[in-house]
Amino acid sequence: MAYSLEATYYRTALLLGILPGSQVHRWAERIIERAPTPPEGFLDVISAGPNDLSALRAALWPLAVEPEPPSVLRAMFALLHADLESGRRSLSDTITVLRQMRSMLRLPSTLYAELNAVLVEQVSIHTSVPRWLALFSDEHLALLGRA
């Protein structure tokens, strides 16, 4: 499906609480506005209220890819990096989201090991997470075609 990576990106971001439902709504509305016939499933997305995250995730499910592909995972790390750098998210909140990713998503084994090592290192050094997330800084833009 043409929009599966983007749908997976938004569904994962909603699960982790790092994007608001209104942003998902705007994305779905843009897709519908550009298409002569609304792509299958997108009317379900905009029918869900922007504040009903469970309904939005359910509507995105048939459009998304399971498990989350590496490009989507890297985009999540890039989004976390951007939020941390801009001050929209504190380091403590960022670490909480990374721990959620480690436990809630099916990360590839090498990425899981790397994330786990960074989280363990962060406990003693306190700069590991920001430095590691910087490696992914532009991934979400590339995934969404805005690079």
Per-residue pLDDT tens for 66-90?
999 999 999 999 999 999 999 999 9
In 34-95, beta strands by DSSP E = none
Token match 């976390």: residue? 80
The pLDDT, as a whole number, for residue 83 is 95
Amino acid at 78: A
For the entire predicted model, the pTM comes to 0.83
The pLDDT, as a whole number, for residue 43 is 92
Distance of CA 33 to the CA centre of its chain: 23
The pLDDT, as a whole number, for residue 147 is 43
Sequence ranges of the domains in the chain: 4-63, 70-143
Which residues have a Cβ under 8 Å from the Cβ of 79 and sit 6 or more positions away? 13, 18, 19, 140
Per-residue pLDDT tens for 30-55?
999 988 887 889 999 999 999 999 99
**Structure-model confidence comparison of residues 75 and 126, the more confident one:** 75
Rounded mean pLDDT, 13-23 = 96
